[in-house]
Each structure stands twice: as structure tokens, then as C-alpha cells.
Structure 1
Amino acid sequence: MLILVSYDVSTETAAGRRRLRHVAKVCLNYGQRVQKSVFECKVNLAQMETLKAELLDEIDEKEDSLRIYRITEPLEKNLMEFGKFKAVDFEDTLIV
């Protein structure tokens, strides 16, 4: 399944800046960055649960926000791309 992960981490403190780096690193282990705080991830259900748990371990729910959207298939009907950025073909091997 394709999911979209977006987050907003408060960076007013050193701890917040650390959380931001850690959240981005977790997301990079599962997918590709499409904007500064938005990642596309091709995962199965177990990987999604693991990703969610890892992200919830990193964020401070009182200061930060996290959203995970499941993009329903068929992708051709639910995903439109414009501009110079082109997504990685998730059917190929993705090495992180």
C-alpha cells in the first residue's frame, strides 16, 4: 500500500530540532521525501504499524503533529503528479 506521512515538529528547542531529525530519518527508512515534511512510503500493513510506532516514539504529541494517509488504489486514479519532481517507481527495489 502507498501511504503519505506528513509531520510538523516544533523546533523552538534543541530537543525539538533533535526530534525533527529523528522523525525524518525514520521516514527515510520507509520511503522517499516529496516535500520537506512529507514522505511517500510503499509498505505492507506490518511495516505501516512499525513505522507508526517508531514515529510515535519520536514525536511529542503535546507539541508536534503527525498524519498518515493511506492512498487508495488504483494509483492511476488517485495520484496526479505535476512539475519536475517524479516519484520513484515503487515496484523497483528501493535501497535506503
Structure 2
Amino acid sequence: MPGRRLHVIAYDISEDGPRGRLAKFLLDYGDRIQHSVFEADLEPEDVERIMARAKPLVAAGDSLRIYALCADCAEKVRSLGRQGPIELDDIVVV
């Protein structure tokens, strides 16, 4: 039975209001690593909860994707540059 595992959550939502509400909600589950990308250690129930809560925020032309990484794949994650979550103070809206 699958348990807690690392997930990558990515979204592309055109409207500011729904996009902001989704981002704020996702902060309860994981770390924001890019403006519209989160990493989260989730149980299967968490994924279902996120999908249900996000459904009214994702319009026909928008997208939300949640990728589950197996333990082997999670150990092979590599990155360069900034490590860890980005701080909201680092975000500049022009």
C-alpha cells in the first residue's frame, strides 16, 4: 500500500485570485520551490484533498499537475542554485 512520498505540484492558472488562493493553500502541504511549483511529502489522502480543493480554482484553460516520485527517484533528485523553499519576500510582481 502506498504511503507518504515526495510529490512535485505544478500549476498554470491565468487568473490572479484563484492562483493566489491555490498557492496559499499549497503552502499548508509543502514548500514553494518556484513561483508555480511546490515539493510536498504527501500521503495519498493529501493528494485527493488537494485535487478536490483545487478543482474549483482550475478553469478550462488552466492546469494543475501532481507528480508522485518513488523513493528511488526522490533520492536521485538533483538541483543547482538556490536550495529549499523560496521566501515570499523574494517574489516581485511587476
Give the alignment's TM-score, normalised by structure 2. 0.77
The equivalent of 1:83 in structure 2 is 81
Structure 2: how far apart are the matches of 1:86 and 1:24? 16
Shift of 1:48: 1.2
SS of residue paired to 1:41: strand
Give the alignment's TM-score, normalised by structure 1. 0.75
Amino acid aligned to 1:66 = L
Structure 2's unaligned 5+ residue stretches are 86-94
Shift of 1:36: 0.3
The equivalent of 1:47 in structure 2 is 46
The equivalent of 1:92 in structure 2 is none
The equivalent of 1:65 in structure 2 is 63
Structure 1: how far apart are the matches of 2:12 and 2:52? 17
How many corresponding residue pairs? 80
Structure 2: how far apart are the matches of 1:26 and 1:55? 9
1:5·1:39 contact (CA, 8 Å) conserved in 2?
yes
| Runs of 4+ more than 2 Å apart | none
Q: Find out whether 1:18 has 2:22 as its counterpart.
A: no
Q: 1:4 aligns with which of 2, 8, 11?
A: 8
Shift of 1:57: 2.5
Shift of 1:63: 2.3
Q: Deviations over 1:35-58 (max 9, x none)?
A: 000000111111111111111132
